[in-house]
A and B are shown apart, each in its own frame.
Chain A
Amino acid sequence: MKNMERDAKFRLDRFLLTNLVPLIFIGLSMVAIPISQFSGSYLVQEMLIRLARNAFLVLSLLIPIIAGMGLNFGMVLGAMAGQIGLILITDWKIIGLPGMVLAALIATPIAMALGWMCGVILNRAKGREMVTSYILGFFINGLYQLIVLYGFGKVIPIRSADLVLSRGFGVRNAINLLGIRNCLDNLIPVSLQGIRIPLGTFLVIGVFCLFIVWFRRTKLGQDMRAVGQDMDVARAAGIPVERTRVVSIVISTVLAAYGQIIFLQNIGTMNTYNSHEQAGMFAIAALLVGGASVARATLPNVFLGVILFHLMFVVSPMAGKYLIGEAQLGEYFRVFVSYGIIAVSLVLYEWRRARDRAYARRSLRGGEA
């Protein structure tokens, strides 16, 4: 009886803790939306566009979480691979959907190689995967700059003059992706009461969601879950732990490459040296806002997260402007929220883990008595 009581209380705590972040966000949005004076239809249109733009990138984070490797900050590796594909097809002037597919085909082997490397390195840093993948992102960013700034035009031929810096090699800072802009979004033109729906992109995202649902049920998906729960038990059960972990990162990296290509076809311009840096942070913040944790993330988390996070993104500068008379303040507020939300989620996760460990210790002691 006493035991049950403690269990019930424990679960209520848990509910509040797991849903704390989305609840805070819903509260903030409810305050900020009226202040910002945006119309409902504008916000709906904006959210649809942003959902199409970002959902795929966020989805690419799911598989490493299943495998117990935490938030894959190394997804920026995939984003860089995707960008290399985009630079090349822009140079070759291949436009429309074939261009996008070709960019994805070029990005795939690069992303696989990078993902494999990332997986191997993370296997050497078990227990600190997140911070390691985070630093790895910076490190590969250095190599990416080396290749794009010095390699392109020298080692890798670039023909179009408008891509190359005036000194003769190195790619320009901003690339216009006019050739593939919105080609997937507008593939099937649908609009409802004046609101355009990027159905083509949503179809791709839908297919991908089905893939994840299916993947979880495969042998490999089950192996990953086992590895995520307990590496030693999984190893004892004959699952190749290291290999499974590497595979999960490779899949995530390749998907992040596709995600970045979809993201940039929606935006239409690419900042060669910055676009990828933000990709990881925003995707991770969005996922966490949706109520995911470092150890557990579901498809609803992804969509709820993208909507809530980007609602805040759109609304906060205007809210700041009307509330205090300074848009800059709202701008800083949203930067603060993006980082703060990751910090809070990480703290909650670690804190909960420490508490669970304490519970386990106490119950062990209780059993002995």
Chain B
Amino acid sequence: MQKLRALIHHVGWPRVIIAVFLLCLFVAAPFVRVRLDASIGDTLVRFGMNGVLVLAMVPMVQSGCGLNFGLPLGIIAGLLGAVTSLELNLTGFAGFVAAIAIAVPFGLLFGWGYGRLLNKVKGGEMMIATYVGFSSVAFMCMMWLLLPYRNPTMVWGYAGKGLRTTISVQEYWGGVLSDFFGIRFSDFLSVPTGMLLFFGLMCLLVWAFFHTKTGTAMTAVGTNPDFARASGIDIDRMRTISVMMSTVLGAVGIIVYEQSFGFIQLYMGPFFMAFPSVAAILIGGASVHKATLTNVLIGTFLFQGILTMTPSVINSMLQTDMSEVIRIIVSNGMILYALTRVARVNSK
């Protein structure tokens, strides 16, 4: 009993509750005639789809810039890459790689500016990040209308210009990663091996980066800025690098998401995309000051698991669709918990 209590304390109550809830959903699924294999398959797909976006939180949290509510900025870089790749009529792996190759420089550029901005507003990063994200999405709404893309599958038919709100990538590079070495167990359960491998590769890269000299310095900046300054680390530079990394990961993340989802969502599409990722990493046990790859993996699995399971299971149980409400309460409740928890530790 004592051990159990210590374990729960170590893991944190919200994480335990959410894990138990998810477990209950999986157990209940067969009784309300929801196919378990389909559920597991869907969870895996969504895990792979969203993983890199959640990973994009890690560098900024580690360098002390807080939760990356400005993720939409990275997503916009990714969208630019994806749309340009379609404009060039590239298909298959070439298209996917080209999208990333075009998105990365945009991500670096945006991230550099965004990082410089955040260096000027230390202490107020999160609120400003939120609004930088929002206003850049709104700005890009105008740009999507004006940018000179001409591919007829992407622009409005009657005007011949202005990108559509959703663009299908099925003909180009939809599913190239998911179907790569994809394993089909049954009609309902197939594992998107390529996508999971790619997510693994990204995690490995981030893990390796945090074991280099720069990576260690970055963690030092986040843990104790005064100590870092005393040991001769350029704090602003480390923070800028971390923001650039987060932005680039966001750009890559959205392209992975799109190739699995099959559509590019422009205009207000990226608007609220930061919140699920923030919630996911917090459910995984991260705090505003510390995030690890384990947090990313566990958090993405738990959060996406709940998102997959609640609509099907709860709907069959209660005959009403409460999944949206549950999603709002769980994700925002989690963010709220993290924000208030840190302050309590600080005031001690």
**Which residues on A are within 8 Å of B, measured CB to CB?**
121, 124-128, 130-132, 134-136, 138-139, 141-143, 145-146, 149-150, 167, 326, 328-329, 332-333, 335-336, 338-340, 342-343, 346-347, 349-351, 353-354
Q: Are B122 and A354 in touch, CB under 8 angstroms?
A: yes
Please tell me which one of the listed residues A124, A132, A335, A342 contacts residue B131 in the complex, with CB atoms under 8 A apart.
Answer: A342
Q: Are A135 and B332 in touch, CB under 8 angstroms?
A: yes
CB neighbours of B347 from chain A (8 A): 126
CB neighbours of B328 from chain A (8 A): 138-139, 141-142, 145
Q: Are B320 and A131 in touch, CB under 8 angstroms?
A: no
Q: Is B193 an interface position by the 8 A CB rule?
A: no
Give A36 Cβ to nearest chain B Cβ, in Å: 17
Give B126 Cβ to nearest chain A Cβ, in Å: 4
Give B299 Cβ to nearest chain A Cβ, in Å: 17
Given A142-B332, A343-B134, answer yes or no on A125-B122 (Cβ-Cβ < 8 Å).
no
Q: Are B329 and A146 in touch, CB under 8 angstroms?
A: yes
Give A164 Cβ to nearest chain B Cβ, in Å: 14
Give B106 Cβ to nearest chain A Cβ, in Å: 19
**In the complex, what distance in Å separates the CA atom of A262 from the CA atom of B102?**
50
Give B311 Cβ to nearest chain A Cβ, in Å: 15
**In the complex, what distance in Å separates the CA atom of A121 from the CA atom of B333?**
12
Q: Are B336 and A132 in touch, CB under 8 angstroms?
A: yes
What are 20 A-B contacts defined by CB distance under 8 Å?
A121-B340, A128-B126, A132-B339, A132-B340, A136-B336, A138-B275, A142-B328, A143-B329, A145-B325, A332-B141, A336-B139, A339-B138, A340-B139, A342-B131, A346-B121, A347-B117, A350-B122, A350-B128, A354-B122, A354-B123
6 shortest interchain CB distances as A-B pairs:
A142-B328, A350-B121, A336-B138, A343-B131, A142-B329, A350-B124
Q: Are A130 and B127 in touch, CB under 8 angstroms?
A: yes
Please tell me which one of the listed residues B124, B139, B322, B335 contacts residue A135 in the complex, with CB atoms under 8 A apart.
Answer: B335
CB neighbours of A354 from chain B (8 A): 120-123
Please tell me which one of the listed residues B320, B332, B342 contacts residue A139 in the complex, with CB atoms under 8 A apart.
Answer: B332
Q: Are B121 and A351 in touch, CB under 8 angstroms?
A: yes
CB neighbours of A138 from chain B (8 A): 275, 328, 332
Give residues of chain B (184-218) contacting chain A, Cβ–Cβ below 8 Å: none
Q: Is B168 an interface position by the 8 A CB rule?
A: no
CB neighbours of B69 from chain A (8 A): 131
Q: Are B130 and A134 in touch, CB under 8 angstroms?
A: yes
Q: Is B24 an interface position by the 8 A CB rule?
A: no
Q: Are A131 and B130 in touch, CB under 8 angstroms?
A: yes
Q: Is B145 an interface position by the 8 A CB rule?
A: yes
**A128-B127, A136-B336 are known contacts; what are 10 more A-B pairs with Cβ within 8 Å?**
A121-B336, A124-B344, A131-B69, A131-B126, A132-B336, A135-B332, A145-B328, A339-B137, A347-B121, A350-B123
**In the complex, what distance in Å separates the CA atom of A149 from the CA atom of B320?**
10
Q: Are B322 and A150 in touch, CB under 8 angstroms?
A: yes
Q: Is B91 an interface position by the 8 A CB rule?
A: no
Q: Is B1 an interface position by the 8 A CB rule?
A: no
Give A92 Cβ to nearest chain B Cβ, in Å: 26
Q: What does the 1/0 interface line of B121-162 toward A look like (CB < 8 Å)?
A: 111101110111011011101100110000000000000000
**In the complex, what distance in Å separates the CA atom of A324 from the CA atom of B320?**
46
Q: Are B339 and A125 in touch, CB under 8 angstroms?
A: yes
CB neighbours of A332 from chain B (8 A): 138, 141-142, 145
Please tell me which one of the listed residues B121, B131, B320, B335 contacts residue A150 in the complex, with CB atoms under 8 A apart.
Answer: B320
Q: Are B336 and A336 in touch, CB under 8 angstroms?
A: no
**In the complex, what distance in Å separates the CA atom of A124 from the CA atom of B343?**
6
Name B138's closest neighbour in chain A (CB-CB): A336
Give residues of chain B (109-123) contacting chain A, Cβ–Cβ below 8 Å: 117, 120-123
**In the complex, what distance in Å separates the CA atom of A338 from the CA atom of B141?**
14
